[in-house]
């Protein structure tokens, strides 16, 4: 019959594009050994090692170490996935022409970025389940009620937005090798001195400075969230980093 096999060109609905892209991005991240190392193994090792040796090292922590360190490691997990993993993966996608080819598909930049962010959230849910389970096994009490859970989700979303914008900024402007080096260097510097695992109060005179870093703001927001409180100042700091990072990324990001 006439018209039975008439072609119907056009892209899939935006929601389907977003879900498909997010599923592909999440599978790629979970299949990559380096990504799993950053996402799960390192945070778990840091948590177990810090809690087990807290009584031997004076970390300057008030309260039980596990209750302070577990939220900090959750914040570290967000940083490792939303910043380091995203930057490295996107940088090499640019190098190999993957982003250029995606740019020719009916996939807008907004949908592409949305798919990447959705994939990050999927991976972060897995991270939180694993790290939270380890924390509970070590004696952590977990978030304080429903308010604490909602505050943790809010802090994680704010941290993901801030670090993802910064990760895309690096990946979209530097060569892949430079992105790999820069992302890992920044990760290590923030891990050691960015107040992400330990509270800003343990940094002495530097505490007033590091709490304005995205790592410090996320760490403080996560620790407050696990106590059932919303750290408005820290969330606003993360929002500011998101705005700055997104604006710079929009101006400088190159698809190839």
What tens digit of pLDDT does each residue of 111-157 get? Answer: 777 777 888 888 899 999 999 999 999 999 888 888 889 999 999 99
Rounded-to-integer distance, Cα 126 and Cα 226, Å: 18
- Domain of 141? 14-52+63-252
Does the pLDDT value for residue 11 go beyond 80?
no
Domains contained in the chain, number: 1
Classify residue 5: in a domain, yes or no. Answer: no
Does the pLDDT value for residue 15 go beyond 80?
no
Classify residue 92: in a domain, yes or no. Answer: yes
Classify residue 1: in a domain, yes or no. Answer: no
What secondary structure does DSSP assign to 215-249, as a single string?
HHHHHHHHHHHHTT---HHHHHHHHHHHHHHHHHH
Q: What is the pLDDT of residues 168-222, one digit of tens each?
A: 899 888 888 899 999 999 999 998 888 899 888 888 888 889 999 999 999 999 9
Task: Report yes or no on whether pTM surpasses 0.75.
Answer: yes
Residues present in the chain in total: 256
Classify residue 9: in a domain, yes or no. Answer: no
Averaged pLDDT score across all residues of the chain: 84
Classify residue 46: in a domain, yes or no. Answer: yes
For residues 228 and 212, the answer to whether their CB atoms sit within 8 Å is: no
Classify residue 120: in a domain, yes or no. Answer: yes
Q: What is the pLDDT of residues 232-252, one digit of tens each?
A: 999 999 999 999 999 998 888
Does the pLDDT value for residue 228 go beyond 60?
yes
What is the predicted pLDDT for the residue at 90? 86
Classify residue 242: in a domain, yes or no. Answer: yes
Classify residue 108: in a domain, yes or no. Answer: yes
Does the pLDDT value for residue 78 go beyond 90?
yes
First and final C-alpha spacing in the chain: 46
What is the predicted pLDDT for the residue at 100? 66
């Amino acid at each position: 019959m006439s018209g039975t096999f008439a072609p119907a060109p056009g892209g899939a609905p935006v929601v389907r594009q977003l879900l498909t892209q997010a599923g592909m991005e999440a599978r790629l991240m979970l299949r990559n050994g380096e990504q799993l190392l950053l996402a799960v193994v390192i945070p778990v090792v840091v948590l177990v090692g810090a809690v087990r040796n807290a009584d031997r090292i004076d970390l300057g922590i008030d309260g039980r170490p596990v209750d302070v360190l577990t939220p900090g490691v959750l914040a570290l997990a967000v940083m490792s996935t939303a910043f380091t993993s995203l930057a490295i993966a996107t940088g090499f996608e640019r190098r190999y022409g993957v982003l250029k080819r995606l740019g020719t598909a009916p996939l807008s930049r907004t949908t592409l970025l949305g798919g990447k962010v959705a994939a990050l959230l999927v991976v972060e849910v897995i991270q939180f389940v694993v790290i939270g389970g380890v924390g509970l096994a070590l004696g952590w009490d977990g978030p304080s009620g429903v308010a604490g859970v909602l505050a943790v989700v809010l802090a994680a979303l704010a941290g993901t937005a801030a670090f993802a914008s910064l990760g895309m900024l690096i990946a979209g402007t530097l060569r892949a090798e430079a992105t790999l080096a820069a992302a890992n260097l920044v990760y290590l510097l923030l891990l050691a001195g960015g107040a992400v695992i330990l509270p800003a109060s343990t940094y002495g005179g530097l505490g007033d400075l590091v709490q304005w870093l995205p790592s410090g703001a996320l760490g403080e927001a996560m620790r407050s969230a696990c106590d059932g409180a919303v750290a408005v100042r820290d969330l606003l700091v993360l929002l500011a980093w998101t705005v700055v990072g997104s604006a710079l990324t929009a101006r400088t990001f190159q698809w190839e």
